Chains A and B, each alone.
Chain A
Amino acid sequence: MLSVKGLRANVGDKEILRGLDLEVGPGEVHAIMGPNGSGKSTFAHVLSGRAGYGVTAGSAIFEGRDLFDLEPEERARLGLFLAFQYPVELPGVNNTYFLKAALNSIRKARGESELDAVSFLRLIKERLKILHLDDSLLKRAVNAGFSGGEKKRNEIFQMALLEPRLAILDETDSGLDIDALRVVADGVNALRGPERSMIVVTHYQRLLDYIEPDYVHVLAKGRIIRSGGKELALELEEKGYGWIDAEVEAA
């Protein structure tokens, strides 16, 4: 599904990712954990094609294509989805119009026909329910004036609608109280399936109580230094990130 090899990336002159390798198979959920500044968010951004990052080495093969050869919209049309840590407010851009433009762009790229208004509405109403979101959301501008929880739910709602093959959740738990976290996690879990892989980027183990990963990776100084099952997350929770520094120093 996704094969990242030897990825190095800079922000400005500073190297943030220093030879990152990751294999994600179909239907797998991988958690990427690590202390602040380890490169977790950079990894998510580089995969999705955000400007301001320079990939200096390595590749990320997704669905047979190297993501780094593609524009952000082309990556999305291939089936990549990034749930933003800080979803962007788009004042004046109507949510329904936005969702329709996004869905139809992706459908077109897949060789499917554009949805007519009726089927589109039916589809979004059905997906809204998964996230316990209200219809009124559709009339509002994208993320504009949304609460933190609404923004995060809106991200997962978009994911439910666009049905990506690989979803990257970038610190989806940040800024959520426990109830909101549960709703978001339920939404994510409802979307798990044999054909959909996920990369869950998080600082805290808390989210992983709700979204149970198949694999956990520890990222430090731009590299994955340990990989394991979900028990690794618990170990991190217990020991904190302090021991990592020692381990990186030793390596």
Chain B
Amino acid sequence: MNGDPQIGFERWLAEPSAGAAPDWLESFRSGAREDVRARLLPHSKEEAWRYTSVKSLLEQGFAQSDETMTALQPDDLEEILVPGFETHRLVLVNGRYVPELSAPGDWPEGVRVGGLRALLESDPDALRERINATVDEPQPFFSALNTAGLDDGLVVLLGPGAIVERPIELIHLSVGLDEPRVAQPRHIVRLDAAAQATLVERYVSLGNSVYCTNSVVEVSLGRDAILRHERVQMESPNAFHLTGLYLVQDENSHYMGVNIGLGARWARTDLNARFRGRHAECVLRGLYLAGDGQLLDYHLDVDHAVPDCRSQENFKGILHGKGRAVFDGRVLVAKDAQKTDAAMSNRNLMLSEQAEVDTKPRLEIKADDVKCSHGTTVGQIDPEMLFYLRSRGISEPLARRMVCLGFAGEIIETLGSEALREHISEQVGRRLEATSLS
């Protein structure tokens, strides 16, 4: 691989077919292409890739997805909609925004939501200051790949004080093509001062095909803005999933993120948060469930660059069969970021002896007047809990499921919508039921 390190990703770099893109975007793309070609592949000697190999991803020979699936009818979405979940619905298929499948509804004044490509066609400079605005250079490898292929995605722009009541639901649907394809959507989310919204990203598929999603989400929150950001990864069991979140927060803004990971055979999630103004709060919660043949890898990087901010990182995992997970959480507190309040926790429930988790919470504190904590646990189901349930007539498999769902419930119950909570509980329960739980 050393001779031509990028050969496996060369086909991800095919020029987007969309044609005329604004010059500034074209220069982002070509710059990223050069950047990626000059770089080594992620390898196990890099701290960020210590536990996860990209070998299986390379072997698939994914190619950039350049077709829009328009053959789908709204009826085809039935099986992936969440019953009772009332949203502004925006649908991307294989990385492309498809207005025919979307049901955005009406927006209050000062709100602009839609497909990225469509927005650039009508207003080429609209995102000039927004794209790549929250991602530090040099970009991480897969984010650079995303930039190189940047062509479509979802844009959510809220002007000052704008409030969107109903959740904005982004359904990223993958449909199998003859050839294994990679979709690389770029989502741009900007809330101006005091704006408020809920964004729910759902990554789903029709069928069990092999594909790859490599999404990048840029979120910037203005002063006093509030964003609830819930992300549900329920890709096909044969899919590869990569996502990079880049969050920047101004003064007194609040971000409440929940990351649910249930699908994909190989998934890598990078959550990067940076405080730019004081008294801001960032909550990152997560729940992952990995079984046979699955690897779910989470990396958190929270940068307390300024004083007086709060962050909370709480991830819980359930591992069964030969499932594997990685949690690598880093909280960085800069020298003058006094009065920082940060609490990181990662707890794992192991349901089998073959399951594996590598957990590594890290606090790097350079300030001296802070309140920071971290904790991590890896344990089995408490036999006392099982006995208690069984002594009430409940069968052992159901008792196990109840304890697991209880463990997961702490995260699930933080989702904003009852309909979504029920949906996730049901999905988790179904997956637990399908395993032998031995």
| Sample of 24 A–B contacts (CB below 8 Å) | A49-B390, A50-B387, A73-B391, A73-B393, A76-B393, A81-B391, A82-B391, A88-B384, A88-B387, A88-B388, A90-B389, A90-B402, A90-B403, A91-B407, A92-B405, A92-B408, A92-B409, A93-B403, A94-B409, A102-B394, A105-B394, A105-B395, A105-B398, A106-B392
Contact with B along A46-84 (1 / 0, CB 8 A): 001111000000000000000000011101110001101
List the A side residues contacting B395 at CB < 8 Å.
Answer: 73, 105
The answer to the question of B177 belonging to the interface, with a C-beta cut-off of 8 Å to chain A, is no
Q: A71-B396, A93-B402 are in contact. Are A51 and B389 (CB under 8 A)?
A: no
Pair B393/A91 contact, Cβ less than 8 Å: no
* Distance of A163 from chain B, by nearest CB (Å): 12
Number of A-B contacts (CB under 8 A): 84
Interface centre among B387, B395, B399, B403 (most CB of A within 10 A): B387
Give the complex CA separation of A152 and B396 in angstroms.
24
List the B side residues contacting A158 at CB < 8 Å.
Answer: 392
The answer to the question of A234 belonging to the interface, with a C-beta cut-off of 8 Å to chain B, is no
A residues with CB within 8 A of B: 48-51, 71-73, 75-77, 81-82, 84, 87-88, 90-94, 97-98, 101-102, 105-106, 109, 141, 158, 162
Give the complex CA separation of A51 and B390 in angstroms.
11
Pair A101/B403 contact, Cβ less than 8 Å: no
Pair A72/B407 contact, Cβ less than 8 Å: no
Give the complex CA separation of A139 and B329 in angstroms.
33
Residue of A49, A87, A91 near B406 (CB, 8 A) is A91
List the A side residues contacting B393 at CB < 8 Å.
Answer: 73, 76-77, 102, 105-106, 109, 162
Give the complex CA separation of A41 and B190 in angstroms.
62
Contact with A along B246-290 (1 / 0, CB 8 A): 000000000000000000000000000000000000000000000
Pair B390/A91 contact, Cβ less than 8 Å: no
List the A side residues contacting B399 at CB < 8 Å.
Answer: 73
Interface centre among A50, A72, A75 (most CB of B within 10 A): A72
* Distance of B421 from chain A, by nearest CB (Å): 12
List the B side residues contacting A72 at CB < 8 Å.
Answer: 387, 390-391
If A72-B390, A73-B393, A81-B391 are given as contacts, then 19 extra A-B residue pairs at C-beta distance below 8 Å, sorted by A number, are: A72-B387, A73-B390, A73-B391, A73-B394, A88-B385, A88-B387, A90-B389, A90-B406, A91-B406, A91-B407, A91-B409, A92-B409, A97-B402, A101-B398, A102-B393, A105-B392, A105-B393, A105-B398, A141-B409
Pair A92/B407 contact, Cβ less than 8 Å: yes
Q: A71-B396, A101-B398 are in contact. Are A87 and B388 (CB under 8 A)?
A: yes
* Distance of A208 from chain B, by nearest CB (Å): 24
Q: Which of B366-381 contact A (CB under 8 A)?
A: none
Residue of A71, A88, A98, A109 near B402 (CB, 8 A) is A98
List the B side residues contacting A50 at CB < 8 Å.
Answer: 387, 391
Pair B391/A48 contact, Cβ less than 8 Å: yes
Pair A90/B396 contact, Cβ less than 8 Å: no
List the B side residues contacting A75 at CB < 8 Å.
Answer: 391
Q: Determine the residue in chain A with the shortest Cβ distance to B399.
A: A73
Interface centre among B392, B405, B413 (most CB of A within 10 A): B392
Q: Determine the residue in chain A with the shortest Cβ distance to B402.
A: A93
List the A side residues contacting B402 at CB < 8 Å.
Answer: 90, 93, 97-98, 101
List the B side residues contacting A101 at CB < 8 Å.
Answer: 394, 398, 402
The answer to the question of B74 belonging to the interface, with a C-beta cut-off of 8 Å to chain A, is no
The 6 closest A-B pairs by CB, nearest first: A92-B406, A92-B409, A76-B393, A102-B392, A93-B406, A88-B388
Give the complex CA separation of A106 and B389 in angstroms.
12
* Distance of B223 from chain A, by nearest CB (Å): 36
The answer to the question of B84 belonging to the interface, with a C-beta cut-off of 8 Å to chain A, is no
Pair A162/B392 contact, Cβ less than 8 Å: yes
Residue of A71, A76, A92 near B392 (CB, 8 A) is A76
List the B side residues contacting A84 at CB < 8 Å.
Answer: 388, 391
The answer to the question of B410 belonging to the interface, with a C-beta cut-off of 8 Å to chain A, is yes
* Distance of A150 from chain B, by nearest CB (Å): 16
The answer to the question of B105 belonging to the interface, with a C-beta cut-off of 8 Å to chain A, is no
Pair B406/A71 contact, Cβ less than 8 Å: no
Give the complex CA separation of A141 and B389 in angstroms.
13
Pair B405/A76 contact, Cβ less than 8 Å: no
List the B side residues contacting A51 at CB < 8 Å.
Answer: 383, 387
* Distance of B388 from chain A, by nearest CB (Å): 4
Residue of B382, B398, B410 near A92 (CB, 8 A) is B410
List the B side residues contacting A73 at CB < 8 Å.
Answer: 390-396, 399
Give the complex CA separation of A72 and B413 in angstroms.
31
Pair B390/A141 contact, Cβ less than 8 Å: no
Interface centre among B394, B396, B408 (most CB of A within 10 A): B394
Q: Determine the residue in chain A with the shortest Cβ distance to B384.
A: A88
Pair A98/B389 contact, Cβ less than 8 Å: yes
Residue of B383, B405, B413 near A93 (CB, 8 A) is B405
Give the complex CA separation of A51 and B387 in angstroms.
8
Give the complex CA separation of A76 and B396 in angstroms.
13
List the B side residues contacting A71 at CB < 8 Å.
Answer: 390, 396
Q: Determine the residue in chain A with the shortest Cβ distance to B382.
A: A88
List the B side residues contacting A102 at CB < 8 Å.
Answer: 389, 392-394
Q: Determine the residue in chain A with the shortest Cβ distance to B396.
A: A73
Give the complex CA separation of A106 and B390 in angstroms.
11
List the B side residues contacting A92 at CB < 8 Å.
Answer: 405-410, 413
* Distance of B412 from chain A, by nearest CB (Å): 9
List the A side residues contacting B408 at CB < 8 Å.
Answer: 92
Pair A91/B387 contact, Cβ less than 8 Å: no
